[in-house]
Each structure stands twice: as C-alpha cells, then as structure tokens.
Amino acid sequence: MALNPNPWPPRTRRISLGDVNIVIPTLNEEKAIGLVLEELFSIGVKPEQVIVVDGHSTDRTREIASSKGVRVILQEGKGKADAIKTVLRYIDKPYTLVMDGDYTYPAYEIPKLVEKASRGFDEVIGARVNGRENIPLLNRLGNWIITKVFNILFGTNLRDVCSGMYLVNTRILREAPIESRGFSVEVDIAAKVASLTGRITEVPISYRKRIGEKKLRIIHGLYIVKDLVRLAWRYNPASLIFILGAVLTIPGIVIDSWVLLELLLYGIKRHVWATLGTLLTLTGLLSLALSIIAVYLKRFEYRLNQKLAIIHDMLEELESRLRSKS
C-alpha cells in the first residue's frame, strides 16, 4: 500500500500560463511541428514563451518552427535527455512544460497542468488516460511496469510516469542534474522531484495518434528499465541489494522441492542438498523482508524531506512579508 506522497497539503502558488516556458524537443517533425505551435498559440501561449530544441533534424522542422516566431536552438549531444540539458540555459520562466513535437499531446490540456501546479506541486504529469489505444501495446506494458516499480520505490501513486508532457518547477529542474540519457529523462526528473520535495502529482489528459515517424522503439524501453535500476541504486541502494538477494528464494524452493520429491517417491535422502536449499530459501526470505523495511525507511526519509520543504516555503513567505512591512 502506497504512502501518501505529501502528508501535508502543499501551499498554493499564483501561477498563470505566462509563468511557463514551453519546451519542445524535436527531431524530424516537419509534418507536426506547425500544428503543435498553432495549437499552443490558440490557448494563449505567446511565441516568445516557446523554445524548440532541435536534435539536428534533416528535414524542415527548424525552418517551420522559426517561421512561427518561436525560439529555435540546436541541442548539444544526442537524445531527449541532452535536449533538456541544453535548453535549461535558455529558460527564463519559473515553470517549464515539456511536450513532444509530434502532435500526440494536446495543447488544450496545458491549463489543467498549470492549475494543478498552482496548488503547490513541483511537478505535474499529464497521465495519458484517454486515447491509450494510440500507445503501442508493448509500450503500454513497459510503461505500466516502470510506473509500478517507481511507485514502490518512491511511495507515489502515479499512473504514467513516462508521459512526455509534464510541468516542472524550473528551480528544481536546474538544481537536480539530469543523469539519464534518451527517453528515460521523464523518469529521472520525476525521481528527483519525488525524493527532494515529494510534491509530484498528475492530471488525466488525452493522447492522440502521432503525426510522422515513430521514434520510440522496444530497445528504448529496455534503456528506461536500465535507468530505472540505476535510479533505484542511487536513491535506495539497500532495497535494490535486498531485492536481488530475495531472488535466492527461487533456487532454494526448487532445490527443496526436488529433495522432497526424491524422499517421497524413492526414499532417497539428500541432506547436503536439503541444507543448501533451506539456506537459500531462508536467505531469500530474509532479504525480501529487509528490502521491504528499506523501502519504508526511504519513504519515511522522503516524507521528512517533504515537511522540510514546506517549512522552508513558510519561512521564505514569512521573510518576504517582514521585508515588505519594513
């Protein structure tokens, strides 16, 4: 059972659409980028708020984006994570919204994320609840597994941690260096917010069929799993070690079952194998129990961080009021 990721209600903040930079990583999105930008303008986003960070497209993506009056920069490195690292130098708003440039994420959903962030959250993820049929089956399965593991590690209750549309407090985005590569950047950012302040949530959004060539492959899902294991090692290494130790339960049970069958069917006693199987089983069960304890201890630490973050905000607000009075 997941703990409440924020036991104290977050302080509300006055956030409007004008407080947000829209960041769109692109790579050969000439068929969709114009539609994405026009839809953004239709909800009140100004061209100067939008930054298209392009991964050296070989089509007309940059030309089309520039013609719409938005800022277009070339990313350093390769992949979506490097795009986010590059664009951090150009962001000048207190909040950053990242969205894909393939028309899958509707711009009209953005006000919902902004309104939710106004309730004091440092990250709001757009959970793809409607239109999930537009997500390939294998991607859906991988996303479900990754999200479940993430919830266990960080005590959250998310449904779509891999979503490509999310709103983040720019200060936290800058303070927490991105270490992952490629498409697992979403998981990396969510992990940092969950561990630093715990003020992470989501809102349901729609998801459309992409325009243009699909870029997310099965191999990228494996990379995300690898990065998730790396994040687990970084944020809760004890739990990961004990979970790996719990795997010893499987060979232990297999050996003990074989020894028992040999005894019942043929009357053969295998004392050494029985001892080995019992030791493996007990070690695995002990490791499993310790991994659960490690998870809950880490969640307790996160809850303390969340309370400290709220106290920090309250002190900043008090200091601001005292200065205004003086």
Summarize pLDDT for 239-249 with one digit per residue, the tens.
Answer: 888 888 888 99
pLDDT of 190 over the 50 cut: yes
Query: Which helix (H) or strand (E) segment is 206 a member of?
Result: strand 200-206
Dist. CA 88–CA 97, nearest whole Å: 12
pLDDT of 311 over the 90 cut: no
pLDDT of 264 over the 50 cut: yes
pLDDT of 273 over the 50 cut: yes
Summarize pLDDT for 156-174 with one digit per residue, the tens.
Answer: 899 999 999 999 999 988 8
For 17-235, CATH number?
A: 3.90.550.10
Average pLDDT estimate for 140-158:
85
Which of 60-74, 266-280, 282-296 has the lowest average pLDDT?
A: 282-296
| More confident: 275 or 154 | 275
Cα Rg of the chain (Å, integer): 24
Query: Does the CA dihedral 298-245-186-234 come out positive or negative?
Result: positive
| Position 63 confidence tier, pLDDT thresholds 50, 70, 90 | very high
Side chain identity at 289, as an amino acid letter? A
Phi then psi for residue 177, to 5 deg, are: -60, 140
Among residues 86, 89, 21, 19, the alpha carbon closest in space to that of 49 is found at: 21
pLDDT of 86 over the 60 cut: yes
Q: Which two tokens stand for residue 301?
A: 């630490």
pLDDT of 61 over the 90 cut: yes
- Name the range with the highest mean pLDDT among 16-30, 186-200, 220-234: 16-30
- Please report, for the chain, the start and end positions of each structural domain, with discontinuous segments joined by +: 17-235, 237-325
pLDDT for the residue 294: 83
| Position 221 confidence tier, pLDDT thresholds 50, 70, 90 | low
CA 32 to mean position of chain CA atoms: 25
Average pLDDT estimate for 13-42:
94
Average pLDDT estimate for 83-101:
94
pLDDT for the residue 234: 76
DSSP code of residue 48? G
Place of tokens 């998310």: 158
pTM, to two decimals: 0.79
